[in-house]
């Protein structure tokens, strides 16, 4: 019995750990249900989303499934989050484009992070077959969703690379001096309240995340001033860098 309860708890934890998404397909054209069913299948099996039903997620008695949710602003998406219990919204707007020579449909797909109110992906796909051709429509829906998420992954990788390029390989002397300068008033206060004067040589390591560790004093100090300085210097922080940690020797004037 205990094992059963444990497995039940683990399974429920796994379900709720999945990001939830609502699929919202809206169009003036009648879109066969097979399109949304295929999209749901891809999201659940390939991308591990927990797909929710609009009509089961509202809190205010409004049948959201009958509405066209066509937000275009962050404030609108954040307001929507208050009405539905979901992490993401997948908007699919289908527009028919007809002329005397051709017939095609535009599928505009937008993935919205309802926690931030930001669009994480947006892409346009064209379908040139008949909507009544279910086999072709299902194949199109599967390939378009996969292409859509592939584009999102590439965009995220590109942004991460751009952010990485902004991080310097190492710190300049100016960076280090500025870091020490931020805590210098407290350094002098340590000297003042412990009646310590003169210059103290200190060693410390600056880690890649800009934090400081391995603080050592190369000059003789009383215990009280030493503890005070250690507490002060451990608060130093500077920007990230990608190179090796830096070993620094720095003179501190106590008065």
Strands (E), 140-195: none
Q: Residue 219: what pLDDT? A: 85
Q: Residue 117: what pLDDT? A: 85
What average pLDDT does the segment 146-169 reach?
A: 83
- The pLDDT-based confidence of 58 (bands split at 50, 70, 90) is low
Domains of the chain: 13-166 (3.40.50.10070), 173-253 (3.30.2420)
d(CA 99, CA 219): 86
Count the neighbouring beta carbons within 10 Å of the beta carbon of residue 23: 21
Helix axes 33-45, 134-166, angle to 10 degrees: 40
Locate 64 and state its tokens: 């959201």
Percent of all residues in the chain with a pLDDT value above 70, rounded to a whole number: 85
Q: What is 192-213 written as a DSSP string?
A: HHTT--SEEEEEEEE-TTSBEE
Q: What is the pTM of this model?
A: 0.56
pLDDT tens-digit series, residues 190-231: 999 999 889 999 999 999 999 999 999 988 889 999 999 999
Locate 232 and state its tokens: 């002060």
- The pLDDT-based confidence of 71 (bands split at 50, 70, 90) is low
What average pLDDT does the segment 19-48 reach?
A: 91
Locate 174 and state its tokens: 């100016």
């Amino acid at each position: 019995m205990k094992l059963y309860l444990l497995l039940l708890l683990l399974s429920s934890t796994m379900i709720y750990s999945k990001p939830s998404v609502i699929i919202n397909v809206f169009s003036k054209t009648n879109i066969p249900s097979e399109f949304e069913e295929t999209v749901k299948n891809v999201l659940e099996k390939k991308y591990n989303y927990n797909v929710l039903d609009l009509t089961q997620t509202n809190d205010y008695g409004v049948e959201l499934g009958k509405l066209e949710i066509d937000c275009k602003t962050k404030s609108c998406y954040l307001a929507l989050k208050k009405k539905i219990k979901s992490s993401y919204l997948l908007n699919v707007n289908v527009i028919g484009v007809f002329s005397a020579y051709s017939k095609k449909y535009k599928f505009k797909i937008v993935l919205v992070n309802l926690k931030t109110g930001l669009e994480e992906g947006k892409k346009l796909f064209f379908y040139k077959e008949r909507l009544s051709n279910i086999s072709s429509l299902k194949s199109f829906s599967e390939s378009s969703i996969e292409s859509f998420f592939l584009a999102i992954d590439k965009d995220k990788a590109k942004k991460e690379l751009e952010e990485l390029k902004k991080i310097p390989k190492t710190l300049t002397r100016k960076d280090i001096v500025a870091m020490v300068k931020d805590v210098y008033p407290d350094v002098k206060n340590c000297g003042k309240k412990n009646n310590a004067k003169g210059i103290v040589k200190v060693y410390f390591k600056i880690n890649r995340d800009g934090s400081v560790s391995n603080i050592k004093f190369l000059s003789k100090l009383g215990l009280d001033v030493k503890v005070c300085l250690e507490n002060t210097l451990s608060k130093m922080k500077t920007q990230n860098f990608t190179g090796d940690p830096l070993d620094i020797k720095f003179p501190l004037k106590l008065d």
